[in-house]
């Protein structure tokens, strides 16, 4: 078992990575908890035993259920079971489940403890860690939410053996992002070490910038176009798949702005499409103008201008006020 500490003062917590890690769940729960609300989905492969009385709440599958309607339904369920501020919510599932469970916990009685048991690669290396919770609106992804740190996170590697190949590819999209943020050869590591290293990278960033005032925004590398692609395809394109394309698009945009060379753009193709075996091409039939419109609604946007995380001579950084013409030209160059 590998333990990674997320250092946030009196709100610090541990992330446990290893096979069978879910057996440690009870040790991560708050001592005040007398009951638990377990938020999960029907297809989640792991059962958990929190070691105290609990009720199970299943949310729907698919991004259309990552909504305020689902938060209301969970909250009413919490009320019926008598969940108090001293109890705990446990999110068991992928990134959608932990986002929803975390936001429900942040909202219930203005904040009740939450512990995440992540069952997907995307969740283990990204979504379950760092305290960003939220749901979607028709106007955009993750536009309503809260920063609410968990009391602990479990990454049980047993769950990975149950995932279909596409779900594992989705995790590689987030992993490729860490490659460009650090230069680490993650694929050279063993599975547990690779996941723990990704957790450590995110923990370090979160500790330095919990509420995305600066450095934490770098974790959105590749995500600006990715979120637009998810919305425009009706979430038929999975998050990690979209991030892979978004990383390549960010390279084209950085090149369009004179920030990186042709060789560096090619490195993005080599890593994303080669080493991590992800698709790097835009789907057919997309409107470039529509993509720019969706990207203008991204959470990073400042004062109405397009804002991206882009590679450059000083590494990956936030770049504001990107001209719409450059964003369109980068899309055109990918075709």
Q: Dig out the tokens for 107 from the structure.
A: 């909202």
pLDDT at position 43: 87
Q: In this structure, what DSSP letter does residue 305 have? A: B
Asked if pLDDT for residue 254 goes beyond 90, the answer is: yes
Q: What is the mean pLDDT of residues 252-267?
A: 98
pLDDT at position 300: 66
pLDDT at position 219: 94
Residues carrying an active site annotation: 110, 132, 174, 202, 212, 216, 220, 223, 227, 239
Angle between helices 239-256 and 262-269 (to 10 degrees): 170
Q: What is the mean pLDDT of residues 244-265?
A: 98
pLDDT at position 94: 95
Q: How much is the mean pLDDT over the chain?
A: 95
Q: What is the mean pLDDT of residues 80-86?
A: 97
pLDDT tens digits for 14-24? 999 999 999 99
pLDDT at position 304: 61
pLDDT at position 45: 87
Positive or negative, the CA dihedral 137, 142, 148, 154 is positive
pLDDT at position 303: 59
pLDDT at position 302: 56
pLDDT at position 141: 87
Asked if pLDDT for residue 140 goes beyond 90, the answer is: no
- Helix (H), strand (E), coil (C) string for the chain: CEEEEECCHHHCEEEEEECCHHHHHHHHCCCCCCCEEEEECCCCCCCCCCCCCEEEEECCCCHHHCCHHHHHHHHHHHHHHCCCCCCEEEEEECHHHHHHHHHHHHHHHHCCEEEEEECCHHHHHHHCCCCEEEEEECCEEEEEEEECCCCEEEEEHHHHHHCCHHHHHHHHHHHHHHHHHHCCCHHHCCHHHHHHHHHHHHHHHHHHCCCCCCHHHHHHCCHHHHHHHHHHCCCCCCHHHHHHHHHHHHHHHHHHCCCCCHHHHHHHHHHHHHHCCCCCCCCCCCCHHHHHHHHCCCCCCECCEEEEEECCCCCCEEEEEECHHHHHHHHHHHC
Asked if pLDDT for residue 149 goes beyond 90, the answer is: yes
Question: What is the model's pTM?
Answer: 0.89
Asked if pLDDT for residue 134 goes beyond 80, the answer is: yes
* Boundaries of every domain in the chain: 2-163, 210-334
Domain 210-334: which CATH number of 3.40.50.720, 1.20.1090.10, 2.60.40.1580, 3.40.50.300: 1.20.1090.10
Cα torsion through 259, 261, 266, 271, rounded to 10:
-50
pLDDT at position 232: 94
pLDDT at position 86: 97
Fold of 2-163: Rossmann fold (3.40.50)
b (16+ CB within 10 A) / e for 283-312: eeeeebeebbebbbebbbeeeeebbbbbbe
Measure Cα distances from 212 to 149, 169, 187 in Å. 14, 27, 28
Q: What is the mean pLDDT of residues 90-116?
A: 97
pLDDT tens digits for 287-331? 999 999 999 987 666 556 799 999 999 999 999 999 999 999 999
Burial of 315 (0-12, 13-18, 19+ CB in 10 A): exposed
Residue, of 62 and 37, whose pLDDT is higher: 37
Residue, of 155 and 211, whose pLDDT is higher: 155
């Amino acid at each position: 078992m590998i333990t990674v500490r997320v250092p946030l003062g009196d709100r610090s917590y541990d992330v446990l990575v290893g096979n069978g890690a879910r057996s440690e769940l009870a040790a991560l729960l708050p001592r005040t908890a007398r009951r638990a609300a377990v938020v999960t989905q029907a297809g989640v492969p792991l059962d958990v035993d929190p070691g105290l009385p609990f009720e199970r709440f299943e949310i729907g599958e698919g991004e259309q259920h990552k909504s305020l309607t689902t938060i209301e339904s969970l909250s009413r369920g919490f009320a019926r079971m008598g969940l108090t501020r001293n109890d705990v919510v446990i999110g068991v599932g992928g990134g959608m489940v932990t986002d929803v469970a975390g936001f429900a916990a942040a909202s219930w009685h203005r904040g009740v403890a939450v512990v995440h048991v992540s069952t997907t690669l995307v969740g283990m290396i990204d979504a379950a860690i760092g305290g960003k919770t939220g749901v979607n609106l028709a106007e955009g992804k993750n536009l309503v939410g809260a920063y609410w740190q968990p009391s602990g996170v479990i990454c049980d590697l047993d769950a990975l053996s149950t995932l279909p190949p596409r779900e594992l590819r989705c995790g590689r999209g987030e992993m490729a992002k860490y490659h460009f943020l650090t230069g680490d050869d993650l694929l050279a590591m063993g599975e547990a070490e690779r996941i723990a290293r990704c957790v450590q990278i995110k923990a370090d960033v979160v500790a330095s910038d919990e509420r995305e005032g600066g450095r934490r925004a770098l974790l959105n590398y590749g995500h600006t176009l990715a979120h637009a692609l998810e919305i425009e395809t009706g979430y038929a394109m999975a998050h990690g798949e979209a991030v892979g394309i978004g990383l390549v698009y960010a390279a084209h945009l950085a090149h369009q702005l004179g920030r990186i060379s042709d060789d560096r753009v090619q490195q993005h193709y080599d890593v994303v499409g080669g080493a991590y075996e992800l698709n790097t091409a835009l789907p057919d039939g997309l409107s470039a103008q529509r993509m720019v419109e969706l990207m203008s609604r991204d959470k990073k946007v400042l004062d109405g201008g397009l804002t991206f995380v882009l590679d450059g001579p000083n590494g990956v950084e936030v770049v504001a006020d990107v001209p719409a013409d450059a964003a369109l030209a980068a899309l055109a160059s990918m075709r």
